[in-house]
């Protein structure tokens, strides 16, 4: 199910853009769009060039902004960026700040999307920081082309903001030491130095697990904070805001997002194995082997001390009917050990029947041959399926999350070392197979933990 209905209430993209109108207004958009047999105009959202043209046309059509996005730089998802700006509007309104609003955008990028939107929409002033010279220069050009130099300034800094799950962009835009979580933690640590100079600090978070860790960090330090969920299509991001001023952000701007039922995690004690003992690294490798066999995407989110957290995404059901598959394999192996009935003499008898007995044997061969062939076909088909699933497993978990196909199971898998024991915890997040799908995966792990 698409998540557009969970956009910010004031987001103009709650109603999808009129591609027909864009095709008439902008020839470059008409060139990258396609019309199907029903007359519906579509765009390939997986093609970076198409996304770039679409974003540029929407900025021109809806905000009168002329923006040049380089081919090797990040293409901002406009509805999500607008969600973020609208949420900051809510924060400013909550603290009764309506004028002289100044923002600092760390890692502004070549597009300078946040300063441009904030300036043209609300007349906010911005200072944007950037580490990459090419992005810095292009951001300056975009601001100058839109005559917003009085509102937006740029400086080179040592900061680097990593957009999460982006599949367009340069390494400078997509990579930071320690990842998104460490970047945000550093931002929180450094914010303490400016607690009396900046009213509200905000950041966008691309991973739900990182958000939960950051919320816990802020809570443990007694820092007032709130958060929001931003959705567009099947992509979800989170906004995190905190302050050292006398504002109760949580009460003023309560966490906003679609309501989700908290699923109680399943926890069980992994049996002690001779090969594993109480070594959590060995246990992790064994879990990864099982996930590889099942072609389940996984990504290690956190690895500290005796706790390891993975995000897992299952696109296809590869864990069901394991007993049937084993029986089929055993039967095939048993058939391979049986001496072949069709000896050279037997073949001659089949082709030259001389008795009723030979006719009977011939009929028996005719009946059994298709059965044997069917088993071979089943094995070949299963091998093809396994090969296909193995190829699919090579794709990244990010592409699985961004895919239009809803995963069967999306969950957290955690390993926790308790003295000499290891606990396995699985928490269902979403997916069309529901909690039952995760239960089946859990059962597979239990059955094969030996």
Q: Does the pLDDT of residue 142 top 70, yes or no?
A: yes
Structure token digits, residue 77: 């998802």
- Lowest mean pLDDT across 15-24, 298-307, 405-414, 424-433: 298-307
- Distance between CA atoms of 95 and 198, rounded to whole angstroms? 13
Please check if 107 is assigned to a binding site.
Answer: yes
CA 377 to mean position of chain CA atoms: 36
Q: What is the mean pLDDT of residues 144-172?
A: 66
Q: Does the pLDDT of residue 361 top 50, yes or no?
A: no
Q: Which segments of 98-232 are extended strands (E)?
A: 102-106, 125-130, 152-156, 201-205, 224-232
Give 375's pLDDT tier (boundaries 50, 70, 90).
very low
Please check if 278 is assigned to a binding site.
Answer: no
- Lowest mean pLDDT across 187-201, 269-283, 394-408: 394-408
Strand order in the sheet with 421-430: 266-269, 421-430, 409-418, 307-314, 297-304
- Distance between CA atoms of 151 and 368, rounded to whole angstroms? 83
Give 290's pLDDT tier (boundaries 50, 70, 90).
very high
Q: Please say whether the beta carbons of 217 and 205 come within 8 A.
A: no
Q: For residue range 259-286, list pLDDT tens digits in order.
A: 455 678 889 888 887 766 678 888 889 8
Q: Tell me the backbone φ, ψ of residue 71, rounded to 5 degrees.
A: -65, -25
- Lowest mean pLDDT across 235-239, 307-311, 341-345: 341-345
**How high is the pLDDT of residue 277?**
64
- Distance between CA atoms of 423 and 201, rounded to whole angstroms? 37
Determine which helix (DSSP H) or strand (DSSP E) holds 421, and give its type and residue range. strand 421-430
Determine which helix (DSSP H) or strand (DSSP E) holds 391, and give its type and residue range. helix 356-393
Tell me the percentage of the chain whose pLDDT exceeds 90: 45
- Distance between CA atoms of 113 and 155, rounded to whole angstroms? 16
- Lowest mean pLDDT across 1-15, 135-149, 151-165, 199-213: 151-165
- Distance between CA atoms of 283 and 268, rounded to whole angstroms? 14
**b/e string for 84-102 if b means 16 or more Cβ within 10 A?**
bbbbbbbbbebbeeeeebe
Q: For residue range 308-326, list pLDDT tens digits in order.
A: 888 899 999 988 876 666 6
């Amino acid at each position: 199910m698409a998540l557009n209905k969970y956009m910010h209430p004031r987001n103009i993209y709650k109603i999808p853009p009129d591609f027909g109108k864009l095709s008439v207004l902008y020839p470059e958009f008409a060139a990258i769009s396609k019309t199907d047999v029903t007359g519906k105009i579509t765009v390939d959202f997986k093609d970076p060039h198409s996304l770039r043209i679409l974003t540029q046309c929407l900025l021109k059509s809806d905000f009168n902004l002329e923006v040049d996005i380089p081919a090797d730089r990040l293409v901002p998802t406009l509805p999500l960026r607008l969600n973020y700006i609208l949420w900051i509007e809510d924060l400013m309104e909550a603290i009764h700040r309506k004028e002289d609003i100044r923002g600092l955008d760390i890692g502004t990028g070549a597009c300078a999307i946040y300063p441009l939107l904030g300036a043209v929409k609300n007349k906010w002033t911005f200072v944007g920081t950037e580490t990459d010279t090419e992005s810095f220069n292009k951001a300056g050009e975009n601001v100058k082309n839109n005559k917003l130099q009085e509102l937006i300034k740029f400086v080179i800094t040592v900061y680097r903001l990593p957009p999460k799950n982006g599949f367009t962009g340069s390494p400078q835009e997509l990579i930071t030491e320690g990842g998104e979580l460490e970047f945000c933690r550093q931002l929180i640590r450094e914010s303490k130095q400016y607690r009396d100079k900046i009213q509200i600090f905000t950041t966008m978070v691309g991973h739900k697990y990182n958000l939960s860790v950051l919320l816990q960090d802020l809570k443990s330090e007694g820092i007032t904070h709130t958060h929001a969920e931003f959705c567009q299509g099947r992509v979800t991001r989170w906004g995190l805001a905190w302050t050292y001023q006398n504002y109760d952000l949580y009460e003023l701007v309560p966490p906003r997002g679609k309501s989700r039922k908290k699923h109680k995690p399943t926890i069980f004690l992994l049996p002690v194995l001779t090969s594993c003992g109480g070594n959590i690294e060995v246990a992790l490798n064994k879990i990864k082997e099982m996930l590889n066999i099942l072609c389940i995407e996984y990504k290690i989110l956190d690895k500290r001390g005796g706790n390891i957290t993975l995000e897992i995404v299952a696109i296809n059901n590869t864990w069901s009917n394991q007993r049937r598959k084993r029986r089929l394999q055993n039967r095939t192996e048993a058939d391979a050990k049986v001496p072949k009935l069709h000896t050279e003499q037997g073949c001659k008898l089949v082709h030259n029947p001389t008795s009723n007995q030979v006719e009977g044997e011939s009929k028996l061969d005719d009946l059994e041959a298709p059965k044997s062939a069917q088993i071979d076909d089943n094995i070949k088909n299963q091998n093809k399926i396994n090969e296909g699933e193995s190829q699919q497993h090579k794709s990244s978990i990010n592409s699985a999350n961004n895919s239009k196909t809803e995963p069967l199971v999306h969950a957290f898998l955690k390993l926790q070392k308790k003295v000499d024991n290891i606990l396995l915890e699985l928490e269902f997040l979403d997916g069309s197979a529901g909690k039952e799908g995760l239960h089946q995966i859990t059962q597979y792990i239990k059955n094969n933990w030996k």
